[in-house]
Amino acid sequence: LWVPLTSSHTQVRSNRCLRGKKLSSTAAGIKTSASELYGFCLSANLIDSCMEQMKHIHAQLNLESLRPGKTAQKKKEDNLIRELRVVLQLLRNCLFRNEECKVAALEAHLVPVLHSLWPWFIMDDSLMQIALHLLCVYTANYPTGCGSLCWASSGLSPFQTAQRSASSNSLIHSIIKLASRTLTENSAIQRMVFTLLSNLAISHDCKGVIQKSNFLQNFLSLSLPKGENKSLTTLASHWLKLLLNISFGEDGQQMIMKLNGGLDQLLEMSKYKHKSSHHIVLLILHNICFSPTNKPKILANDKAIAVLSACLESDSLTAQRIGAAALWSLLHNYQKAKVTLKNPSTKRRVDEAYSLVTKSKLLENFVSISKE
């Protein structure tokens, strides 16, 4: 749904901003197909107009912050924040599942603009949620957009250019700092910032920044429920989704194994229930088995081999497949693994799992033939 503009927004002097408001109002009122609406956004330069509007709001907010506090000025600032909220929501809708619009936003320097407004996002939780939601939409399935969060801004104005080089003061660093501050909370911001980091983890550049920031060390201090409660916390679930995305590339697989105690933490978490995905820990273990560098370390860990071997006896066919694929990946092109896995217990489990699969295939064929 498109977010309508309300009549309470403050009129601004800039002609560009006025034009942006008119375009926003028009787009908000259109009821048509998504493709036609995205086409309208591009042809009407709506994304560029929104950027100009945000730059103007940024300049006005800076100006208001330099003046002594008065009721009228506070009201004006509130109106600017309200206007900014609507522009962010409109941009989010424009970019939703549309790479062409995302490219337009990238070229219009969306990330430097948002980075300049970050101090105001920090002071307003609801505004921060909208900004994070926009960034989640922008980075979803768009690696180039993910990488742009690592770029440095140059010049006196952050809107002029964005250097395509790593920076220690890029937007992703601010996001990681925010994530570190929300570790003790169970909030919507925590959920959204972890979702954003999970999107960014697909990018090689972003993974590098996450690793250098030492943010993953916080995973090791994650406390797990004790006693009879064997369900993982919401924060633990966020961590697992992030680590799963990190583990899709070999660089990420090695990152996880380099965490001193990271493998043991994952093995411990495999004993717990997970609300949204029962097999997410197994999938992470499965992925890290594919890295040649990781194989000796995993094979030397008796608990890891025990967990993967136990999957073969699971009632879940999915768990059986994950366990079998992980063990196969350890064996592939690695002679030492064959010696390690050639013990009677593992061999028995493999034989039994193979027998069950064969029987189910025979039964499936029998049912298929009987229906003919």
Percent of the chain with pLDDT over 90: 55
Q: What is the tens place of the pLDDT at every residue in 321-361?
A: 899 899 988 988 888 887 777 776 776 777 776 676 666 65
Q: If phi over 0 gives left and psi between -120 and 50 gives alpha, with beta otherwise, what is residue 316?
A: beta
Please tell me the predicted confidence (pLDDT) of residue 360: 60
pLDDT of 366: 40
For the entire predicted model, the pTM comes to: 0.83
Nearest to 20, CA basis, from 2, 39, 42, 44: 44
Contacts of 277 (CB under 8 A, 6+ apart): 240, 283
Residues 6+ apart with CB under 8 A from 220: 259, 260, 261, 262, 265
The residue among 272, 219, 270 whose CA lies nearest residue 243 is 219
pLDDT at 100: 92
Q: Tell me the per-residue pLDDT of 159-205, one tens digit each, with 9 for 90 and over.
A: 444 555 556 789 999 999 999 999 988 899 999 999 999 999 999 99
Pair of tokens at residue 121 = 């996002």
Ranges of each domain in the chain: 249-372
Q: Which two tokens stand for residue 326?
A: 């992980």
Q: Using the predicted structure, report yes or no on whether residue 105 has a pLDDT greater than 50.
A: yes
Per-residue H/E/C for the chain: CCCCCCCCCCCCCCHHHHHHHHHHHHHHHCCCCHHHHHHHHHHCCHHHHHHHHHHHHHHHHHHHHCCCCCHHHHHHHHHHHHHHHHHHHHHHHHHCCCHHHHHHHHHCCHHHHHHHCHHHHHHCHHHHHHHHHHHHHHHCCCHHHHHHCCEEEECCCCCCEEEEEECCCCHHHHHHHHHHHCCCCCCHHHHHHHHHHHHHCCCHHHHHHHHHCCCCHHHHCCCCCCCCCCECCHHHHHHHHHHHHHCCCHHHHHHHHHCCCHHHHHHHHCCCECCCCCCHHHHHHHHHCCCCCCHHHHHCCHHHHHHHHHHHHCCCHHHHHHHHHHHHHHHCCCHHHHHHCCCHHHHHHHHHHHHHHHHHHHHHHHHHHHCC
pLDDT class of 211 with cuts at 50, 70, 90: very high
Average pLDDT over residues 146-152: 92
Mean pLDDT of the chain: 82
Q: What is the model's pLDDT at position 167?
A: 64
State the Cα–Cα distance between residues 149 and 202, nearest whole angstrom: 13
Checking if the pLDDT of 122 tops 90, the result is: yes
How high is the pLDDT of residue 358?
66
* Average pLDDT, integer, range 119-144: 97
| pLDDT at res. 8 | 35
pLDDT score recorded for residue 86? 96
pLDDT tens digits, one per residue of 288-320 = 999 999 999 999 999 999 999 999 888 888 898
